[in-house]
Structures are given as C-alpha cells and as structure tokens.
Amino acid sequence: MKIDVLTLFPEMIDQALSYSIPNRAQEKGHASVKAHQLRHWAIDKHGNVDDTPYGGGPGMILRVDVADAALEAVDHGHTAHRVMLSPDGDQFDQKMAEEFSKKEALVFLCGRYEGFDARIEEYVDQKVSIGPYVLSGGELPTLVIIDSILRLIPGVLGNVASLAEETFETDLTEYPQYTRPNIYKGKGIPDILLTGHHAEIAKWRLSKRRSASNR
Ligand code: SAM
C-alpha cells in the first residue's frame, strides 16, 4: 500500500509512524508512507499556501490551487483514494479502516488554521472526520487513520488471532484480560482463567464480551 500525506508538518507524520507496528509495517514493505511538505507547492517564494477568506472572517484558508497542484503531483491521474480531513466529514470507524486497508493507494490532505477552500472537495474522494470535536490540524486524524489501517494489512501483525478478537472486529468488544501478578493490592483474577480448561475459558470470555455498538 502506498500512502501520501500532504501537510504543513511532515515531521509529525514521520515521527509518529517511526515506532512499533506502523514502523514494522513500513520496514517489512507492507506499506510505504511519505509525508510531503505542502509549502513545496506554495504560490510564491515566501511559501504561502493559504489566504484570507472571501467575505471576511477570522483565520486563513488553504488555497484550492495549492491543494490541486499537490494532489496532482503525488497522485498523477488520480488513481489513489483521496481523503481530506475535516470535522464535518464522514465519521471514521473500524468499517472504514477495513475498507481503507484494502486500497492500493491513499492520499491524505491535512488542513490547518480555518480549514479548506470549499472547492478543494472537488479534488478529493471523501471528507473524513475522526470525531465530533475540532483539532488544530489534520495530522493527528491522519495518524489515527493510518495507524488503524496499517495493523489490518495481512502480515503486519505477528499474531493474526489478536486481530480476530479485537473490539469492533465483530459487533463485540474484546473480553477482559489479565496478566501477572495473580493478586495485586488484594484483588485477584477470575478463577476460571487458572483452571486450564480451554473450552470453559472460551465460554467465559464470550460471556464477558459486550455489544460494541451499544456501549
Ligand atoms: N474551521 C473549521 C471548522 O469549523 O470546521 C475547523 C478547522 S480545524 C481548526 C483545522 C483542520 O484540522 C481542519 O481543516 C481539518 O483538516 C483538521 N481537523 C480538525 N478537527 C478534525 C476532526 N475532528 N476530524 C478530522 N480532521 C479534523
């Protein structure tokens, strides 16, 4: 999978994906993630990529000509699934993560300041939100999305069983898990887990899983 990220802060993307599973996904060749500095497509030598809103109002707006040039440069001919991050986009969830994990190529366009010129929507395939709140930029939402999709690519996780039982993989949450110490500050673990009866343990675990959609 090829992922390109268009951002004013490429170091945020590079840094955050250089650990643990996202790093392993890239090192093993399952995905290549490249963060591009949007100012590379600036309209002038001062690196300007945004401007004031027509009609007045606070803040700066990312220019459509800059966004179009950047998208065309990293995704010539528009073969990738292009996503722009926006608080009013489609709500990201595990189902969308699974859909994205099957794409050959993805491009993420991160907003900053007051957001995007509305005409940019014509150059992307989807507007996506990670939740009903406003963040300062599209980098953290992009990282959330990339992290959740990389772990779904076959071969990225060492133990595929861990995926199958994870919360949201079915409509059930994961069951409660415990590790050593057996007793901590007087609180023990459920006796069933010490019996070694795998069928009974599986039954108990199933009984502890709850509906993931009605939490
Ligand atoms: N003025 C915009 C509004 O009211 O919708 C908010 C702009 S926000 C400060 C700057 C950028 O952060 C957005 O363009 C978007 O890329 C990103 N962003 C903020 N919250 C987000 C969210 N919940 N989901 C996805 N992207 C978000």
Give the chain's length.
215
Q: In this predicted structure, what is the pLDDT of residue 215?
A: 64
Interval between CA 125 and ligand 1 midpoint (Å): 17
Pick the closest to residue 86 from 37, 144, 137 (CA basis): 137
Summarised one tens digit per residue, pLDDT across range 57-66 is: 999 999 999 9
pTM of the model: 0.94
Which ligand 1 atom is the nearest neighbour of the CA of 133? 23
Contact residues of ligand 1, CB 6 A cut-off = 85-88, 110-112, 114-116, 129-131, 133-138, 141
**Is 177 or 158 the better-scoring residue by pLDDT?**
177
- 168 touches 214 (CB < 8 A): no
The domains found in the chain, sorted by start residue, are 2-150 (3.40.1280.10), 165-214 (1.10.1270.20)
Interval between CA 146 and ligand 1 midpoint (Å): 17
Q: Looking at residues 146-163, what average pLDDT do you find?
A: 90
Pick the closest to residue 171 from 135, 215, 128 (CA basis): 215
d(CA 103, CA 154): 13
Interval between CA 103 and ligand 1 midpoint (Å): 24
d(CA 81, CA 105): 6
